[in-house]
Structure 1
Amino acid sequence: MADDLKALEQWASVLLAQLDPSNRRKISLKVAQDLRRSQQQRIKAQMTPEGIQYTPRKPRKDLRHKKDRIKKQRAAMFAKLRKNIHLKVKADSNEIAVGFFGRVARIARVHQFGLNDRVTNYGPEIKYETRQLLGFSNVDRELIKDALTRYLF
């Protein structure tokens, strides 16, 4: 995978080097927005970059007595986390970044790497399952290539 990214970087750098910095930044921003859209759709589908379904949440035991009030369909994980307000795009003439920044980054990091965290402030510490939120798939690599060719030519 690292070889694919290096090859993509070399291919794109030759094309982008011919542009002035302001046009490079505009194109980088458009490519980053396309990549964010792709990541959001994948998170919405509850899939890892490899195409594997996320591990489902554990059932909450404290909701047994409220059975009549619980919706039958479980809410999708990371519904708010995948919004534009949390999944940020940073782009300049030399690089692009799509990711979680600030306070939300802690929540994303816990799920991305399967770390330990507390559900509530004084609750027990729980080991979360690994749910890879961000990453490159083959589709993302093709999306970057297509977006660069679309915006450059």
Structure 2
Amino acid sequence: MLRGGLAFVEAFARPEGVRLVGQALRRSQQQRIIAQQNPNGSKYAPRKQRNLRGKLGRVKRKVKMFRKLRTASFLRVQGDRNAISVGFTGRIARIARVHQYGLKDRAEKGAPSVGYEQRELLGLTEADLDIIRDQLLTHLTP
């Protein structure tokens, strides 16, 4: 359908197109994280039940996972002339990687190592591919 892809777009127009596609992808990933769904449409594995009877103070219940991770300050978009990436950076990337692949980690320093269920925070769906295609076509048409 499109031959040459971004080669037909003038050099000054590329960063704008890359930015728009990246932002659209980030919004899509954020909506999926809010819905607590893996890219294949299945729900995230639920949190492990904890014994909260002995806990003092306020007990928070029904708080969705990854509430802060999905914000734009943590879910970053980076792009250059040839690539777009949406992902996490720094310390947050480690937390996200543990959940993405279902690895073992410590909840805090000195705590025992615990295995986490796999919850795919990032991934492309058919809808994401449609978003990419639509954004590129919109940007390429005069």
TM-score of the superposed pair, with normalisation by structure 2 = 0.92
State whether structure 2 residue 11 is matched by structure 1 residue 21: yes
Q: Structure 1: state its 5+ residue gaps.
A: 1-10
The answer to whether the 8 A contact 2:104-2:116 is kept is yes
Match of 1:70 among 41, 59, 72: 59
Take 2:119 and 2:83, find their aligned partners in 1: how far apart are those partners? Answer: 26
Partner of 1:102: 90
3-state SS of the aligned residue for 1:36?
helix
3-state SS of the aligned residue for 1:103?
helix
Q: Structure 2: state its 5+ residue gaps.
A: none
Paired residues, what number? 141
The answer to whether the 8 A contact 1:91-1:97 is kept is yes
The answer to whether the 8 A contact 1:111-1:130 is kept is yes
Compute the displacement of 1:53 (Å): 0.1
Take 1:70 and 1:106, find their aligned partners in 2: how far apart are those partners? Answer: 27
Shift of the 12–76 alpha-carbon distance from structure 1 to 2, 3 Å rule, reads farther
Alignment root-mean-square deviation, CA: 1.7
The answer to whether the 8 A contact 2:76-2:88 is kept is yes
Partner of 2:135: 147
**Which 4+ stretches in 1 moved above 4 angstroms?**
none
Bigger share in helix: 1
Compute the displacement of 1:64 (Å): 1.4
Q: Percent identity?
A: 48
